Amino acid sequence: MDFERAAAVLSSAPAVAIACHVNPDADALGSMLGLASVLRARSVEVTTSVPNDPFSVPPWLRLLPGGDRLTPAREFPPAPDVMVTCDCASSDRLQQLLPAAKAARELIWIDHHRSNDGLGTIPLVDPDASSTCEMVYRLVTVMGAELTDDAAVCLYAGLVTDTGRFQYQATTPDTLRVAAALREHPFDHARLVQALYEDNGREYLAVVSTALERLRFVPEADLVWTYLTQADLSEAGVHPNETDDLIDVIRTDREADVAVLVKQQADGAFKVSARSRGAYDLSVIAQNFGGGGHRLAAGYTSTVGPAETIELLVAALGAS
């Protein structure tokens, strides 16, 4: 990885456009906004955007400085001189911002997914990194730039969530050292984590109840799964993004190695979120279905119903 070259490009650029993946999580938004804060402190003109249109703002975004400065995707520079992508495992995750990435003179692609397809004139891809936020911290260090207080809170948000509050396998001593360095900055980490993990409405809890009532175990695949439809979400008044953490409830089933949540999207397709305790490399299986991710956490999109989706997944697990 050429952190030095990326640092040189960013240090000399008068303007930088930064994008993250569609339906962004805290690692995607945190890494993008954290880097943006550092660059703005160096008088760089920065544009940040998300390829959702319209963009549905997660409640916790209000605690990330710079979240109110996102540019609509339609106003993103069509051919930026320097562009950075954050947390994009594949080019299709950029959706309507992909043409800008292809037109950029320099494209710094920062990601930590094992299934990354290696785009960018300067690809910074480390599958062993805990998060893209950890990688942005490393890049800022190589740049010799001052880490702003605003950047610290943004990067900490991504670090906390992508490590599962420092529980996941990718949490290394270096990860904890980065977390400690970020916590040297003045921000209310308890309030931030509460907003990320303990801020659900009763509507969400009703949807959790529905999902748990449908829970099924497939013994031949050592798999537990459930599903939600658009009707479930609409009836409860819950946005699909609000249920992204539901998979973390399903994966606590001690009887199964693989946990899966099949969730219908607005276009009718189903988002498949899968987690493993260690018996399977889910990134490889997800790639077979056009998705990607990490060895123990991956996802993809299915165009068939929940039952058939699971049948196909069980067959893939059996063949792996």
> What pLDDT, on a 0 to 100 scale, did the predictor assign at position 231?
93
> What pLDDT, on a 0 to 100 scale, did the predictor assign at position 31?
98
User: Is residue 282 within 8 Å of 295, Cβ to Cβ?
Assistant: yes
Burial level of 234, CB count in 10 A (0-12/13-18/19+)? exposed
Residue spans per domain, the chain: 3-197, 202-319
Per CATH, the number for 3-197 is 3.90.1640.10
Report H helices in 132-240.
132-143, 149-162, 173-183, 189-197, 202-213, 230-236
> What pLDDT, on a 0 to 100 scale, did the predictor assign at position 139?
98
> What pLDDT, on a 0 to 100 scale, did the predictor assign at position 118?
67
Q: What is the DSSP letter of 296?
A: S
Strand partners, 85: 19, 109
> What pLDDT, on a 0 to 100 scale, did the predictor assign at position 99?
96
Report the C-alpha gap between 110 and 125 in whole angstroms: 6
127 Cα distance to chain centroid: 14
Q: Per-residue confidence of the chain (320 residues) as pLDDT tens digits?
A: 799 999 999 999 999 999 999 889 999 999 999 999 999 999 999 999 999 877 777 888 999 999 999 999 999 999 999 999 999 988 888 999 999 999 999 999 999 987 777 689 999 999 999 999 999 999 999 999 999 999 999 999 999 999 989 988 889 999 999 999 999 999 999 999 998 888 888 999 999 999 999 999 999 999 999 999 999 999 998 877 788 889 999 999 998 999 999 999 888 999 999 999 988 999 899 989 988 888 898 999 999 999 999 999 999 998 77
Per CATH, the number for 202-319 is 3.10.310.30
Please report the beta strands in 38-186, taking only residues with DSSP state E, as ranges in sequence order.
45-49, 82-86, 106-111, 122-125
- For residue 245, CA distances in Å to 42, 49, 197, 206, 260 come to 36, 23, 8, 14, 12
- Grouping H, G, I as helix, E, B as strand and the rest as coil, residue 260 is strand
User: What dihedral do alpha carbons 118, 277, 192, 116 form, nearest 10°?
Assistant: 0
Report the C-alpha gap between 192 and 61 in whole angstroms: 10
> What pLDDT, on a 0 to 100 scale, did the predictor assign at position 240?
76
> What pLDDT, on a 0 to 100 scale, did the predictor assign at position 319?
78
> What pLDDT, on a 0 to 100 scale, did the predictor assign at position 238?
86
